[in-house]
Amino acid sequence: MPKRKAAIAVGGVAALGAAALLLPNAMASQDKDATAAAGTAKTLKATDASTLSAQIQKQLGTAFAGSYYENGKQQLVVNVARGDQNAMAQAQQAGATVREVDNSTTELKAAAQTLKTKATIPGTAWAVDPRTNKVIVSADSTVTGAKWDRLESTVAGLGSNMATLRKSSGTFKTFVSGGDAIFSQVEGGNVRCSLGFNVTASDGSPAFLTAGHCGVAAKEWSDSQTGQPIATVDQATFPGEGDFSLVKYDDPATQAPSEVNAGNGQTVPIAQAVDATVGSTVFRMGSTTGLHNGQVTGLDATVNFQSETDPNGVDTVTGLIQTNVCAEPGDSGGSLFTQDGGAVGLTSGGSGDCTSGGETFFQPVTTALAATGATLGDGGQAGAGDEAGAGDQAGAGDQAGAGAGDQAGAGDEAGAGAGDQAGAGEQVGGDELGGAADPSAAAGDPAAGDQAAGDQGAAQNGTGQHHKSRHHSGGN
């Protein structure tokens, strides 16, 4: 079997402003233009702030009440439970800006547990926002009547200083549909998903991470709609404690570079997996809408998706990253990463779109690596993978009982038949780029323009499309 090279791809760069931020000179200017921090607070890049936050959290223990990154000042802000002067001094000495807050991490977690017990309603989500020191509770457009009353009453019972309730536009859903994809044949049609990051499995074989609801929907995956399978699901989790899958390439000679093809001639090397920090800028690649950026708005988010197999059921996923980065059907499973090459997340779901905006939730890559025992690229760079224990979330069957059909409704959001996915511009300049469904992708962006002509129709029409991957022979 010929040696293959796997790479993450997208259909075109839709957000030119986001693309500009990824240019080398922009990356250099972030450090060059940093102003001196007041007092003892360090000037940090977002990835360094995440590392510092983890160190301070370990030092402070229960006194630590969350942290966030101030992009403008390039400083880490650490919340400390009110009255603990020793903890404040420790955090300041470590290089953070410190503020006293009323709600401890223990109290905020207790509030989230109350919501889980009393208000697990399809179309709801909640996450801790360290900037407000509250739990932010969101309800989509489907939460009305008695459901809204129940949610509102539960939030009110937590106290005004503990939680805030808000309405979210659209409907919380996993982002299924078009894009440059990996495919699987299942009963009822095709399933279509996106590749997130190439990794090395714990046994040394090449593999990739994608969303868990892909892995429970289908076992074998191909790089073309009618092609033979090239990869097989090894582990999958959805719903439950995450939304991630480890999929191994069937050919052990597959080359799986640790990089993101950002479009417009840019490739971002992925050097390590990093934890998200509230307030930091992140970039999302998606085959439907291309490159978009935004900020992390919450951590350890819980999202209650409406079950696609049970009208009265709910698929609850915990431990997600909440952001204000937009996404649309077909972007699911794509890469969330930092400007300097840190792998942050895998697109799970959300609400809204890239015209009116919205919010999107991501599976943390560090958690997925730790659970599966995988490492980024050719190994050794993952960090979190060192703590693996591959069996902790092992076996696609662990979550498959309820989930195996959850996303397999081939065409719930997709529309037409399997034939509609053909001709997605899959051979553009030797690369299977296809799928730039965003109308803005062709306007003013040379890279996107090359693909736009044949890609508009395919990207949003496939049956049961999930996320998007790219698999091609040769280099980028």
Which residues does the annotation mark as catalytic?
Answer: 213, 243, 332
Residue ranges of alpha helices (H) inside 22-179 are 24-32, 46-60, 85-94, 105-118, 145-158
In contact, 354 and 169? CB cutoff 8 Å: no
Q: Is 220 helix (H, G, I), strand (E, B) or coil?
A: strand
**Distance between alpha carbon 438 and the CA centroid of its chain, in Å?**
20
Crossing angle of helices 105-118 and 145-158, rounded to 10°: 160
Strand partners, 268: 260
d(CA 26, CA 21): 5
d(CA 1, CA 24): 37
Q: Which residue has the tokens 């934890």?
A: 275
d(CA 201, CA 246): 8
How far CA 225 is from CA of 207, 319, 414, 423, in Å, comes to 20, 33, 15, 10
What is the 8-class DSSP label of residue 48? H
How far CA 387 is from CA of 236, 269, 372, 381, 384, in Å, comes to 18, 23, 10, 13, 6
Residue 64 tokens read as 């630590």
Residue ranges of alpha helices (H) inside 350-441 are 365-372, 400-403
Residue 451 tokens read as 């693909």
d(CA 109, CA 115): 10
d(CA 79, CA 422): 52
d(CA 470, CA 209): 13
Residue 284 tokens read as 């999302």
In contact, 371 and 393? CB cutoff 8 Å: yes
Kindly write down the DSSP assignment for every residue of 188-199, as one continuous string: TEEEEE---EEE
Residue 61 tokens read as 């223990």
Residue 15 tokens read as 């957000």
Strand partners, 100: 80
Helices (H) and strands (E) in the chain, counts: 10, 26
